[in-house]
Amino acid sequence: MKKLLLVLGCALSIATQAQDLMLYGISPSYSQAGKFTKKLGYNVNVSSVMNAFSQTVDGKRFPSGHTHLVLHGLATYQVSKPLTIAAGYAFGRHSIFGLRENEHRLIAQATYQHKLGNFIITHRGRFEWRQPTNLQTRITSQASIGRYQVWATLPLYDPKKEKQGFFLSASNEAFLYFKGATNGPVSSRNGSLVSENWMHLGGGYNFGLTRAELGYCFQALVRNKAQDYRFFNLLQLNIYHTINWNDIQYWWYL
């Protein structure tokens, strides 16, 4: 009986020591897509995350400030009208509450789009090979991560008759950590296979070749071996821009 009480006491002590981290911030991003030919195109994206408030959790200070900057470029190939494949490179600069890491990523992905009633549904499967470098220890590690995102867009106008109008959007993305980095918090695997998830709700206006969106993103991540979570509540401002290079070239030589 005493041993049972001791085990229960230890479990209760560990549970009370577990500290989830709740953060609030903003995340602007810009994405540009274009086509060089009917099939071959590109996509470039830059996104940033800033933590808005400082706080202390479990005796550790988490200051406000810039935490993530990721730039990526992809070459795309449209296999068919609904299916597109892509490959490319991304660079990330991370400041995880005082610990700085740079990260290289090789990316391969496929997207499939279809309609479901009035909704436009986009599925994206992505594989990323990541190589983060801890700038304090100068140690480099590797990670292999799969990502699956499903994105639903609801135009609040008739796309068959109009090219501009308001829209609503929602998405969810699950991260599969096949292998985690071991030199720091960036791309490390602290939980099960699925130890990170992003949910998004938003709305905006489609100007034709440019879409502006304001939204809310909730990111959940297992942040340490004790299975404590880091929750990030983000106000997002997303700009999506499409370029018709045939029009650009015509204007250039006019």
pLDDT one-digit tens code per residue, 131-140: 999 999 999 9
Q: What is the pTM of this model?
A: 0.86
Q: What is the DSSP letter of 252?
A: H
Q: Is position 191 within any domain?
A: yes
Q: What is the dihedral of CA 28, 24, 90, 103, to 10 degrees?
A: 150
246: pLDDT confidence band, cut at 50, 70 and 90?
low
Q: Is position 2 within any domain?
A: no
CATH number at residue 125: 2.40.128
Tell me the pLDDT tens digit for each residue of 211-228.
999 999 999 998 777 788
Burial of 251 (0-12, 13-18, 19+ CB in 10 A): exposed
94: pLDDT confidence band, cut at 50, 70 and 90?
very high
Q: Is position 16 within any domain?
A: no
Q: Is position 235 within any domain?
A: yes
Residue 156's Cα: distance from chain center in Å? 26
Average pLDDT of the chain is 87
Structure tokens at 88: 């490319």
Q: Is position 221 within any domain?
A: yes
Is the torsion defined by CA of 161, 44, 128, 66 positive or negative?
Answer: negative
For residue 146, the tally of other CB atoms under 10 A from its CB is 15
Q: Is position 8 within any domain?
A: no
Q: Is position 10 within any domain?
A: no
Q: Is position 211 within any domain?
A: yes
User: Could you tell me the residue range of the domain that residue 26 belongs to?
Assistant: 22-252
Q: Look up residue 82 and give its amino acid.
A: P
184: pLDDT confidence band, cut at 50, 70 and 90?
confident
Q: Residue 197: helix, strand or coil by DSSP?
A: strand
Tell me the pLDDT tens digit for each residue of 18-70.
578 899 999 999 999 999 999 999 999 999 999 998 888 777 777 888 999 99
The total domain count for the chain is 1
